[in-house]
Amino acid sequence: MNIELRGISKRFGSVQANRNISLDIRASEVLGLLGENGAGKSTLMNVLSGLYQPDSGDILIDGTPVRFDGPGDSIAAGIGMVHQHFMLVPVFSVVENVILGVEPTGSADFLDLAAARDQVQAINARYGMDVPSDVLIEDLPVGIQQRVEILKVLFRSADVLILDEPTAVLTPQEVEAFFGIVRALRDAGKAIVFITHKLHEIIEIADKVSVLRQGEIVGGGVPSEFSEADLAEMMVGRPVSFSVGRGTATPGEDVLDLRDVTLVDASLEVRLHQIAMSVRAGEIVGIAGVQGNGQTELVEAITGLAPVASGQVMFAGTDITASSVRQRHCMGIAHIPEDRQKSGMVSAFTVAENMVLNSYYDDSVARGVQIDWHRAEEQAAAACLKFDVRTPSVFLDAGGLSGGNQQKMVVARELERGVRLVVASQPTRGVDVGSIEFIHKQLVACRDAGNAVLIISSELDEILDLSDRIYVMYEGQITAEFDNSSSQADRGAIGLAMAGANRTAAA
- 35 DSSP β-pair partners: 212
- Asked if residues 278 and 250 have their Cβ atoms less than 8 Å apart, the reply is no
Tell me if 51 contacts ligand ATP by CB under 6 A: no
Q: How far, in Å, CA of 65 to CA of 191, rounded? A: 18
Tell me if 457 contacts ligand ATP by CB under 6 A: no
Among 42, 145, 321, 426, binds ligand ATP (CB under 6 A): 42
- 264 DSSP β-pair partners: 270
Tell me if 369 contacts another protein by CB under 8 A: no
Residues 362-391 that bind ligand ATP (CB under 6 A): 390
Among 7, 101, 237, 418, binds another protein (CB under 8 A): 101
Cα angle 53, 58, 236 (rounded to 5 degrees) comes to: 80
Among 4, 24, 58, 103, binds another protein (CB under 8 A): 103
Nearest CA among 286, 397, 407 for reference residue 341: 407
Cα angle 447, 448, 454 (rounded to 5 degrees) comes to: 10
Candidates 30-38, 241-249, 342-350, 354-362: pick the segment binding ligand ATP (CB under 6 A).
30-38
- Asked if residues 279 and 453 have their Cβ atoms less than 8 Å apart, the reply is yes
- 287 DSSP β-pair partners: 456, 471
Q: Which partner from the list Mg ion, ligand ATP, another protein, none does 39 bind, CB cut-off 5 to 8 Å by kind? A: ligand ATP
Residues 301-340 that bind another protein (CB under 8 A): 306-307, 309
Candidates 82-90, 223-231, 249-257, 313-321: pick the segment binding Mg ion (CB under 5 A).
82-90
Burial 43-57 (b: 16+ CB within 10 A, else e): bbbbbbbbbbebeeb
Tell me if 475 contacts another protein by CB under 8 A: yes
Tell me if 427 contacts ligand ATP by CB under 6 A: no
- Min CB(445)–ligand ATP separation in Å: 23
Residues 28-67 that bind Mg ion (CB under 5 A): 42
Among 3, 5, 30, 37, binds ligand ATP (CB under 6 A): 37
Question: Can you say how many angstroms the Cα of residue 148 is from the centroid of all Cα atoms in its chain?
Answer: 16
Tell me if 495 contacts ligand ATP by CB under 6 A: no
Identify which of residues 306 and 401 has a Cβ nearer to ligand ATP in the complex: 401
- Asked if residues 193 and 25 have their Cβ atoms less than 8 Å apart, the reply is yes
Q: Which partner from the list ligand ATP, another protein, Mg ion, none does 450 bind, CB cut-off 5 to 8 Å by kind? A: none
Identify which of residues 12 and 242 has a Cβ nearer to another protein in the complex: 12
Burial 266-278 (b: 16+ CB within 10 A, else e): eeeebbbbbbebb
Among 320, 380, 401, 463, binds ligand ATP (CB under 6 A): 401
For ligand ATP, what does the binding mask look like between residues 76 and 105, x meaning CB under 6 A?
Answer: --------x---------------------
Tell me if 140 contacts another protein by CB under 8 A: yes
Identify which of residues 84 and 426 has a Cβ nearer to Mg ion in the complex: 84
Q: What is the DSSP string of 372-440?
A: -HHHHHHHHHHHHHHTT---S-TTSBGGGS-HHHHHHHHHHHHHHS--SEEEEESTTTT--HHHHHHHH
Candidates 86-94, 331-339, 399-407, 432-440: pick the segment binding Mg ion (CB under 5 A).
399-407
Q: How far, in Å, CA of 437 to CA of 65, rounded? A: 42
Tell me if 434 contacts Mg ion by CB under 5 A: no
Tell me if 277 contacts another protein by CB under 8 A: no
- Cα dihedral angle (500, 285, 476, 320), rounded to 10 degrees? 170
Tell me if 347 contacts ligand ATP by CB under 6 A: no
Q: Is the dihedral of CA 223, 225, 228, 232 positive or negative?
A: negative
Q: How far, in Å, CA of 425 to CA of 407, rounded? A: 11
Q: How far, in Å, CA of 455 to CA of 440, rounded? A: 11
Identify which of residues 83 and 147 has a Cβ nearer to ligand ATP in the complex: 83
Tell me if 206 contacts ligand ATP by CB under 6 A: no
The CA–CA distances, whole Å, from 1 to 62, 192, 257, 420 equal 6, 11, 57, 55
- 334 DSSP β-pair partners: 422
Among 14, 239, 266, 367, binds another protein (CB under 8 A): 266
Binding site for Mg ion (CB under 5 A): 42, 84, 403
Binding site for another protein (CB under 8 A): 12, 49, 51-52, 70-73, 75-76, 81, 83, 86-92, 96, 99-103, 105, 108-111, 130-132, 135-136, 139-141, 143-144, 152, 263-271, 273-274, 292-294, 297, 300, 306-307, 309, 348, 475-476, 503-504, 507
